[in-house]
Amino acid sequence: MDILLGSIYDYPQYYDIAFQPYTLTEANFIEVACRKYCRSQVDRLLEPGCGSGRLIMELAGRGYEMIGFDLNRRALSYLRRRLKRRRLHAETFEADMSDFRLRQPADAAYCTVNTFRDLLTEEGARSHLNCVAESLRPGGIYILGFRLLSPNGEKHAIRRWTEQRRDTEVTVALRALRPDLRRRVQQYRVDWLVRRGAQQCRLRHEFQYRTYTARQFRSLVGSVSSLELSDVYDSRYNIEQPFSINDEMTYSLIVLRKLLVRK
């Protein structure tokens, strides 16, 4: 059995397969949220930390003008090859989530499956939100999908799932390790088993996410003068059932809106 080296982000073809069950649900939610919250027609969408670009591919196929960026060059190359094969277009570039600029503003933006939590400091997260706000038209929205800190923490929590695309099967085991609530950092370990016919390979990768309670996230948004928290949704993606942000929701879809006038 082969051992893959590096991080899960260095193998975008497998990452794309592992998270493909979320793609249609997330893309549909992005569309209906834009219709509900944006003050004008949405044509141009931004995805910070786009990775393999599964949502960019889906939304570009629906006719949106797409912009995406990431720090991982392998992921960007993979996305560009897929766009070319399907004769789709998106503006893609390499950039840090906490320091980027667009030449033209987007109508809306989104960032799902905990990518926002890759920003491990308050300064980095605030800088990111300010960059997103500067990249949006007034009245535009930013949809953030990430897991809030459970009241019981995530220590020893483990999730397993398997996904397949053509002859490639990816099995994922994701385990939460060693929470540090003082530093607001949660350690994770992910194990991949990839099968392609008779061939198998494994990858183990450890990484950190920043933790957020509902109060901590409200405080962060309150420190960004050009954004306001509109509504919050849970993992059912039901646009007809918004909630107030709370610590019981775990995975949350948070809709932020750029103010027409700064606070």
What band does 263 get if pLDDT is binned at 50, 70 and 90? low
Segments forming the whole domain that contains residue 39? 8-149+212-258
34-92 residue pLDDT tens: 999 998 999 999 999 999 999 999 999 999 999 999 999 999 999 999 999 999 999 99
Domains contained in the chain, number: 2
Mark whether 57 and 127 lie in a shared domain.
Answer: yes
pTM over 0.85: yes
Mark whether 204 and 233 lie in a shared domain.
Answer: no
Mark whether 101 and 224 lie in a shared domain.
Answer: yes
Helices (H) and strands (E) in the chain, counts: 6, 12
What band does 12 get if pLDDT is binned at 50, 70 and 90? very high
How many residues in the chain?
Answer: 263
Residue 1 located in a structural domain: no
Q: What is the CA radius of gyration of the chain?
A: 18
Query: Exposed/middle/buried for 19, CB within 10 Å: 0-12, 13-18, 19+?
Result: buried
Residue 19 located in a structural domain: yes
Mark whether 71 and 190 lie in a shared domain.
Answer: no
Residue 236 located in a structural domain: yes
What's 199's DSSP letter?
E
The rounded distance, in Å, linking the Cα atoms of 84 and 67 is 15
164-214 residue pLDDT tens: 999 999 999 999 987 899 999 999 999 999 999 899 999 999 999 999 999
